Amino acid sequence: MGENPAKNHYAQLNQGEENEMEIFGYKTQGCRKALCIAGYILSCGALLLLFYWKPEWDVWANCIRCSLEEADIVLLRTTDEFRIYSRKTVTWISVSALIKSRLDYPGTAEEDSVFSKAIMKPSLQVKSIQVQRIRYVWNIYAKQFQKVGALEDHHTCSAIHAKFGSGLTCNERNVRKVICGPNTIDVPVIPVWKLLIKEVLNPFYVFQLFSVCLWFAEDYMEYATAIIIMSLLSIFLTVYDLRQQSVKLHRLVESHNNITVTVCRNKEGFQELESHHLVPGDMLVLKEGKTLLPCDAILISGQCIVNESMLTGESIPVTKTHLPQADNFKPWRMHCAEDYKKHVLFCGTEVIQTKADDTGVVKAVVLRTGFNTAKGDLVRSILYPKPMNFKLYRDALRFLMCLIAFAAIGMIYTVCVFALNGEEAGEVVKKSLDVITIAVPPALPAALTTGIIYTQRRLKKKGIFCISPQRINMCGQLNLICFDKTGTLTEDGLDLWGLLPCERDCFQDIHSFPADHSLPWGPVFRAMAVCHSLIVWEGKIQGDPLDVKMFEATNWVIDDSSGHKIEGQGSTHATVVRPGPKASSAPVEGVAILHQFPFSSALQRMSVIAQEIGGEQQVFTKGAPEMVAMLCRAETVPLNFESKLLLYTAQGFRVIGLACKSLQAGKQSTDLTREEVESDLTFLGLLIMENRLKRETKPVLEELSAARIRSVMVTGDNIQTAVTVAKNAGMISATNRVILVEANKIPGSFSASITWKPLEENKTEDYRGLAKAMGLEPRSPRVFTSAAPVQDDSPPTTERRIRLALASGQYHFAMSGKSYQIVAQHFRHLLPKLLLNGTVFARMSPGQKSSLVEEFQKLDYFVGMCGDGANDCGALKVAHAGISLSEQEASVASPFTSRTPSIACVPELIREGRAALVTSFCMFKYMALYSTIQYLGVLLLYWQLNAFGNYQFLFQDLAITTVIGVTMSFTGAYPKLVPYRPPSQLISPPLLLSVVLNILFSLSLQVFGFVVVQEQPWYSKTDIYSACLSVNNHMENSSSISSLGLHGMRDGAHGQTDNGYKSYENTTVWLLSTINCLIVALVFSKGRPFRQPIYTNYVFILVLIGQLGICLFLVFADIDDLYSKMDLVCTPTTWRISMVIMLAVTLAASFLVEEAVIENRPLWLLLKKTFRYHSKSHYKRLQRVLEQDSAWPPLNETFFSDSVAISVEGSMGGHSNPTFDSNEDAL
């Protein structure tokens, strides 16, 4: 039964967000419920179990559709490709106890809030549902469920100050507390019994239970007991693992649930209370000293320095400034743009320093509580991970369905054979059900998980930790890796290389570091001493590595006393820097930093207002040179600014622009807006930092390139620096061309333009003309990428040379985050074409990084992301395999974490992933063959109303298959990455052909043995001792076998000496099928090119030799007691040799087919070519189209978009945790 979205019955929850869902309203109906209860009883709980697996069926059976307003049950469905359903009960929250009279009704802060709109009158109740730990209430006016636990987004900056600046009244707080619930991120440790029940109710274990019950009914005790022990062990390990994760997560969050905080109450003053009482809108007062934040809050007065490493993995302290009191109609978040995070203190982070302003207190308004917070979001992403869409797992289900269909045929055959021979109905049912347990291998999931567990263990030894084991197989399919630059490809620390000062619009001589003579006193020196956000923490200077290096070069020190009263600045707590013991003489006692405008990725700069002790106030700005130059007066910027910038960025240096201006006296620094401060600056020069490549970077990228795995750089740095690093690292080879893609919005219109320029062809343009052109959009970063003109070639030759490179596909696109955003909005149709050859993406914000990974995934790439900083956490989560090079707690947001901070872990992970994937396929093929071999053997014997004996089954199932299943996965990964990937699906032609041919070989072998044994001269249907000479002492037993009718397979009805299984056919078929299992295990154990040769897996080889030895011993030994126990009979030696020859022929045929056909890559490529088979991957299809398009890429051309931009706010977000935007990688 599907869903037809009818009016008011259906809505969307969290529209445009990552956890978007569809919600449907239902009302429980009494008679339907009664019928369902009757069904549960009559089906002995089977219907209940089915409803547990399929919650939507439960709702459709018990309820009728209705509007969401009337609903008492809601059905939720995810909007992704999985369409997962979940069922939630609507609950009612009563607020009547809090609202006794009209006067108690929510006051001014509540008028336009969801709290007043959710209370139903006159009952004074609120209708709510809880989805993934977040509470939603029914908005009576909007007729929809809305999230509570967060301050509404529509408040303006001034409204936040006005409404919440003096705190909530006691009554407002109480109403909010009841509706929002407590401010806790509560992850209770799940009781073992709950985990146990959940695990046991897994469909696979239910099937196991069915099998075990059937075996006990048939007296097949030993194997049933073995399977119970194995299943219990498997369940125990899974439950133990889940319990450990639960405990770890509980410990991670419990410390933040009960912190004593000070709040300001309207009309009641300050109060101390437990943090779980906080509600959105509360006024929080931050005391001096270290404090853990129990919620997200907006800073509205003072300044804070926060350690956000708990969430972001960046241990650099971050400066937070208060929300400006801007009086406009824009919501506060839109007013602050991407910069809003600089005013927000996030839950789970630690305030290490507070600086009060004139009011004397540092105050913050509670923005989000509980699971709505940044930390809550991180915890929810661990509790409710995104399901994996991987072909292997879908194919595994199809594979099991095929086996069940296979079993169904066997069941029909069994019923026919036994019913026609007049067997009892009960026996016929048991026999036919038994076929299912033989055809569907019960050990399959256990065997598959062992492979993953071994791989996980091998990765752990190599310092790579994994919190999402099902992604290991996915690593075997990766064909594109996105790398962050700073700290990932290049060293984390920067070295100060030089300073290019500028005076009177001319660059001076470069000052190199480390220099013999120290830097002279002047504006550039002052900028280096004060333009940073460094603090002294635990006796050490802490902050951005770039800031630390720059400040250390001045030999000044930060005065760590608590605060300094500066003339005319009230009681400002200012940071003061003074000359250190090694500093050159300076004419001042020190400089105080009065106010900071912290670094912002969106604005690409930071500024400070500083004052020499006893001197005037000055503004200092540093940031991306292009950005800083735009904010300076044109006459202070040197004419050769552009070529000088290019000279250094083209060598891979990281270049920072510096600027300053004086402020007129008498103005309070806190009253100035950022726009006023950062305008009409004087350009001071360029600071040049060296960012070296890590030693491992180049060889790793070369290895990936040789394996045809694409490498892409996604960085926050300058585009030219990024291109140079990409060339030095080998991402872009020397012969390849780089084409810069620039997209700009056209001022005053909704359209945009896009231009393609070869990077070597950009002529140096007049800077002022450019600045004037860019003045039209002063807030957007413009990347200057002009290179020096090519001197040695005449333009037509250069053009021809580039065209030649382009024709052979040897070109790479480079673009900035701004251009990427505009292309995604205005030139959506061009985005896939650009991504196909896009190698460098510079100046990317965290949201854009996540979006880029998702866009690559839409092209059917399997994307890995490797990064180290906070900016990458969103992309690490979205990618198929995210590898974090950080040992901080943020690694919980990434499936893989590498202890060694280098990208050498990437090929290692791909190697292990490929090996794990191939191991999974081997296991699948082996399990399919083993169950088919046993199934064919049993069906052949059923023809004679015979079957395998108990110990025969036990030997095959336990001694052969279980041991092989455990040891087959020990084979390690092959050290060399080959330039192709293992197949990603079970249903690929080579794999299917391999399984089908081996099934045919097994069938031929068993049928041949079964038929030929009956043709032997010594064969007798009734006398099973006639074949051997030593039968005299057995003759008395032969009379007991009056009939070969089998009464109860595996039930031991005839006592130990002879239970009716013994026959020449049984002995022949069982010995052939058992050794056939060993042949299949050997043939399927693939070595190269993805795993090490099979002989390196010593345990497996020893196991195979041991098993073969035992099997051959059973073939040739003639020990009466042993044969009697194993239900075997004696056959002449010639027949035993004949069986060995049959098996040798089967081995030879199987091995030959596997090597010459299945593993013959050139043959399959030839077949593909012959039948014109082309890959269906989106990117491959696009490649073929572009190869035919001579006009692509359009060089030195500009396109214009005429359509209105489509909003991509949702898609640009990817998964971005609110804190994942630090100053890493951004200058």
The H-or-E segment that residue 668 falls in is: none
Strands 811-816 and 737-745: parallel
CA distance 527 to 529: 5
Computed over its alpha carbons, how large is the radius of gyration of the chain? Answer: 37
From its phi and psi, is residue 1214 left (phi > 0), alpha (psi between -120 and 50) or beta? left
The H-or-E segment that residue 654 falls in is: strand 654-662
- Other C-beta atoms lying within 10 Å of the C-beta of residue 394: 13
CB within 8 Å of 74: residues ≥ 6 apart: 23, 24, 25, 26, 68, 87, 88, 90, 129
CA distance 229 to 232: 5
- State the alpha helices, DSSP H only, in 324-373: 332-336
CA distance 1209 to 1212: 5
- Other C-beta atoms lying within 10 Å of the C-beta of residue 45: 11
| Residue type present at position 861 | Y
Q: Find out whether 687 and 622 touch, Cβ atoms under 8 Å.
A: yes
Strands 464-466 and 575-579: unpaired
Q: Find out whether 317 and 306 touch, Cβ atoms under 8 Å.
A: yes
CA distance 659 to 403: 73
| Residue type present at position 858 | K
| Residue type present at position 89 | T
CA distance 183 to 180: 8
- For tokens 């099997």, the residue is 1111
Query: Please, which residues bridge with residue 490 across strands?
Result: 693
Measured CA distances, 829 to 741, 751, 826, 1082, 1199 (Å): 15, 15, 9, 51, 13
Task: Note the residue count of the chain.
Answer: 1227
- Other C-beta atoms lying within 10 Å of the C-beta of residue 1011: 12
CA distance 190 to 1164: 51
By CB atoms closer than 10 A (0-12, 13-18, 19+), residue 733 is: exposed
CA distance 757 to 397: 50
| Residue type present at position 1077 | C
Q: Is the peptide bond before 1089 cis (omega within 30 degrees of 0)?
A: yes
Q: Find out whether 156 and 333 touch, Cβ atoms under 8 Å.
A: no
CA distance 345 to 298: 6
CA distance 1159 to 1087: 11
Q: What are phi and psi of 296, to 5 degrees?
A: -85, 140
- The conformation of residue 939, written as its DSSP 8-state character, comes to H
Strands 21-28 and 10-13: antiparallel
3-class DSSP state of 269 = strand
Q: Find out whether 432 and 922 touch, Cβ atoms under 8 Å.
A: no
Active site residues: 484
Tokens found for residue 947: 């079957």
Q: Which segments within 6-116 are labelled E, that is strand?
A: 10-13, 21-28, 63-65, 73-78, 85-89, 91-94
By CB atoms closer than 10 A (0-12, 13-18, 19+), residue 798 is: middle
CA distance 943 to 1027: 22
